[in-house]
Structure 1
């Protein structure tokens, strides 16, 4: 089929999908592949140029630009692999049918991509690109130790022949031991509290004694007054 008709058919599918409200899409049949096909490229584009253009919709991990075996010139089409498979849907919907350097490109899914076989005429850079891809490699971050974190010990200044036992960890000591002055003050406070309690107890006992004595005196007075009255009555009767 003509490449232009293929490009138009893919564009029709994308337009129909936008109009319909279906949850499933025609992209679902390519969920197992993260590769796309790009045709109609300008012959002057290199792998780096292709990565710059197509990395707008996701991280690219591999590019296979098909070149002539004898001359090494580009044939105008390539295969691109994305890190995230969902990026292929965006690339097909947005890049298919656009123009690059006055050439209309065709972008479509690839269901079963096969890695090309190594040939003797390929240079080392191309072979390395096929094996490792073009994705950025993770950088190992080493922890930076400042001078403040380091602590000098006696072992740093001793010859290697002498071995010291392992050093025990140093833990912060809580200041829980009280001084003699603090203990004396505590004893004084306790004595003062005890003396106050004794004074209160003595005052209460004195008050109780006074009350009892007052009650006795009132009872005696009442008894004497009653006796006097009785004697006066007797005298009146005798008269």
Structure 2
């Protein structure tokens, strides 16, 4: 897929022809629960993205790609769902969607690979990577944002 319009045309043609299962263009991605989301506003957090995309299924992993020096979002991420059918819903419904005045490109990822980093010799090696959960701190880790932590402490006092 080279762009938003290409994906939209494939989905529309599939709807018109009532294609399903093996004849669907989505079938090629049947073994992948990951999608690519591009065109994201740089102020969006992992939690913001999870909230938007959870309407299509249960997200289990997010890798919001950030600048290694500044920590600022590069405007794209990879999102993993518990169920592969959720990827079809997300691609069909969110590709071309305008979020915070930016048009999203949403597409399947055929073979998601964990992030790489450069070692001291300049070689790319697998980064120690674990599924990140909603706020990038690991699955089932709650109260990780400052506001969540403050609210949780207040709740415990009462």
| TM-score bracket, shorter-length normalisation | 0.7 to 0.9
Deviation at 1:118, TM superposition (A): 5.8
Deviation at 1:110, TM superposition (A): 0.4
Instruction: Provide the C-alpha distance between the structure 1 equivalents of 2:100 and 2:19, rounded to a whole number of angstroms.
Output: 36
Deviation at 1:134, TM superposition (A): 1.3
TM normalised by structure 2 equals 0.74
Alignment match, 1:176: none
CA RMSD in angstroms comes to: 2.1
Instruction: Provide the C-alpha distance between the structure 1 equivalents of 2:97 and 2:61, rounded to a whole number of angstroms.
Output: 22
Instruction: Provide the C-alpha distance between the structure 2 equivalents of 1:132 and 1:13, rounded to a whole number of angstroms.
Output: 31
Structure that is richer in strand per residue: 2
Alignment match, 1:79: 78
Instruction: Provide the C-alpha distance between the structure 1 equivalents of 2:8 and 2:31, rounded to a whole number of angstroms.
Output: 22
Alignment match, 2:18: 21
Instruction: Provide the C-alpha distance between the structure 2 equivalents of 1:85 and 1:131, rounded to a whole number of angstroms.
Output: 20
1:114-163 CA-partner distances (Å, limit 9, x unpaired): 1013679xxxxxx99x41431764xxxxxxxxxxxxxxxxxxxxxxxxxx
Instruction: Provide the C-alpha distance between the structure 2 equivalents of 1:70 and 1:78, rounded to a whole number of angstroms.
Output: 17
Instruction: Provide the C-alpha distance between the structure 1 equivalents of 2:116 and 2:25, rounded to a whole number of angstroms.
Output: 31
Does 2:3 match 1:6?
yes
Larger Rg: 1
1:55-82 CA-partner distances (Å, limit 9, x unpaired): 1100000000000011110000000000
Instruction: Provide the C-alpha distance between the structure 1 equivalents of 2:86 and 2:46, rounded to a whole number of angstroms.
Output: 18
Instruction: Provide the C-alpha distance between the structure 2 equivalents of 1:10 and 1:101, rounded to a whole number of angstroms.
Output: 21
TM normalised by structure 1 equals 0.50
Instruction: Flag structure 2 segments of 5+ consecutive residues without an equivalent.
Output: 120-126, 141-158
Alignment match, 2:107: 108
Q: Per the alignment, in what secondary structure is the counterpart of residue 131 of structure 1?
A: coil
Distance 1:119 1:54, change over 3 A: farther
Higher relative contact order (CA 8 A, sep 6+): 2
Instruction: Provide the C-alpha distance between the structure 2 equivalents of 1:55 and 1:116, rounded to a whole number of angstroms.
Output: 23
Instruction: Flag structure 1 segments of 5+ consecutive residues without an equivalent.
Output: 121-126, 138-239
Q: Per the alignment, in what secondary structure is the counterpart of residue 53 of structure 1?
A: helix
Instruction: Provide the C-alpha distance between the structure 1 equivalents of 2:104 and 2:131, rounded to a whole number of angstroms.
Output: 27
- Which has the larger displacement, 9-18 or 109-118? 109-118
Q: Stretches of 4+ moved more than 4 A in 1?
A: none
Q: Per the alignment, in what secondary structure is the counterpart of residue 33 of structure 1?
A: coil
Structure that is richer in helix per residue: 1
